[in-house]
Structure 1
Amino acid sequence: MPDNTARPKVQEQPGLMIFLGCYAIFGCAVFALSILIADFVVPDHDWIADTISDLGAGKYEFIVDIGIYAFSSALICVALLTAHVHLGGLRWSVSIVGLVALGLIVFLVGARNEYGDSDNDGVVIHRYLVYGLGFLMASLPLLMAKAAGRADPLYSKILVAISVVWVPSAPIFFFLPDAIDGVYERYLGLISFVFVITLSHLFIQRGRSQKAAKRRKEAKNASA
């Protein structure tokens, strides 16, 4: 008779960690590439003066929308990783929910199409989405820094630096002249990429370390 009282085996899956981490980095690359392509394809676009939101409206909006959805999925992948590899503490738990919310906010920014075209039909929530994104980008790196430092102190330093740079930088965007707000928005986007890539690297390295440890163990057992 099988032992129905036995608990299921719970362990981290290094292959899954590496896959999700690589996909999250890929999502950032797709978003960056979509912006670059749209900069050349969209007529009369000035990447210094015009924002990414301007690229997300009109005839060629699908180009940037693809990038936005790719970045949204990258954030969801990171959220899955933080849930799969819980590094401990209430802050880490809150961060899992925050990353899911951040991914959904980015998705809604693309799906609602309330930017760049003076769309005022129905309830316009774009501004509130931006506020939510700004708040989460300011708080999540700080919430995760201590726990991430258990893997390597460098991750903690990078995450703290992201928040320190983001907090004063993000509000400035709302007060910039239209002539330069496009390039500044790209700078803020780069900070968010660093956040995602830092966490992705943490989990990829963890997955690789576990795979290497498993191979060493198997080699040792084979030679015994």
Structure 2
Amino acid sequence: MGQDTARDEDLQTETDRPFLLMFLATVGALGCVALFVSTAIGPYFVPNYDWVSDTISDLAAGEGKLIMDYGLYGFAAGLLAVALAASHGHMGGAGWSVGLISIAILAALVTVIGARNEYGDGDNEGTVIHIYLVYGLGVFFLVAPLAMAGGAGRHGTWAKYACYVLAGLWALSSPVFFFLPTSIDGLYERLLGVISCLFILLMSYILFCRGWASYKKTSQ
């Protein structure tokens, strides 16, 4: 981590606010924790819930849905925090800007998914938009790591490659979800959630390190 910290110190500018960066990065990581905890606890409040065949959407549409809704809102808050941190600690280039805007859009999409309580479950009241929101998640969780890979590489070469690997995994695995039998789509959806959270955790780590490096440099 020493070499990465040295690079972060080179990126640090006089306008950086280290505690703001570290706070927002921490909120980003906690958003992933909120999503994990809600998906782990939620099934215990839904009768006959099956982790393999039932999806996260089933949790958010059934009994105890508030637990999953809060998890989604927490994740959305984490996404927004990462977007704000990435904007404050800009790593340079148009790609980074595209990526942080993509993450902000993802925050909005997740918020709407949690608020709409319409999960493509046969409820036809009003306009059914859940599937379009899911398409949006698929697109922007691919765009974000691809666009931000170059900027992440300024933190460390490994971070750049990690973005590409996560983007590749997402590109290959996310379309498959729509063709899976309902007997296993719940488990598969959770694996996709892991990929998305790994990217947000990666960004949170990079931005926290930048904040820490900025703090060390200004405190000398």
Same fold (TM > 0.5): yes
Q: Does 1:154 align with 2:152?
A: no
Identity score, percent: 42
1:221 aligned partner? none
Give the CA deviation at 1:31. Answer: 1.1
Q: Deviations over 1:49-100 (max 9, x none)?
A: 1000000013311010000000001100011011101111111112222111
Report if aligned partners of 1:56, 1:116 keep a CA contact under 8 Å in 2: no
SS at match of 2:53: coil
SS at match of 1:121: coil
Give the CA deviation at 1:146. Answer: 0.8
Report if aligned partners of 2:96, 2:150 keep a CA contact under 8 Å in 1: no
Between stretches 96-105 and 66-75, larger displacement belongs to 96-105
Q: Deviations over 1:152-195 (max 9, x none)?
A: 11110111001110001001001111111000000000000001
Name which of 62, 65, 70 aligns with 2:74: 70
1:87-166 equivalent positions in 2, closer than 5 A: 87-115=91-119, 117-166=121-170
Report if aligned partners of 2:102, 2:143 keep a CA contact under 8 Å in 1: no
Gap runs ≥5 in structure 1:
1-8, 218-224
Between stretches 201-210 and 190-199, larger displacement belongs to 201-210
SS at match of 2:15: coil
Give the CA deviation at 1:110. Answer: 0.7
Q: Whole-Å Cα distance in 1 between the matches of residues 39 and 103 of structure 2?
A: 23
Q: Whole-Å Cα distance in 2 between the matches of residues 10 and 119 of structure 1?
A: 53
RMSD between aligned alpha carbons? 1.3
Report if aligned partners of 2:120, 2:130 keep a CA contact under 8 Å in 1: no
Report if aligned partners of 1:39, 1:45 keep a CA contact under 8 Å in 2: yes
2:183 aligned partner? 179
Q: Whole-Å Cα distance in 2 between the matches of residues 15 and 209 of structure 1?
A: 11
Matched residues, number: 208
Between stretches 117-126 and 77-86, larger displacement belongs to 117-126
Rg bigger for which structure? 1
| Higher relative contact order (CA closer than 8 Å, sequence separation 6+) | 2
Report if aligned partners of 1:56, 1:64 keep a CA contact under 8 Å in 2: yes
2:30 aligned partner? 26
TM-score, length-normalised on structure 2?
0.91
Between stretches 89-98 and 26-35, larger displacement belongs to 89-98
Gap runs ≥5 in structure 2:
1-12
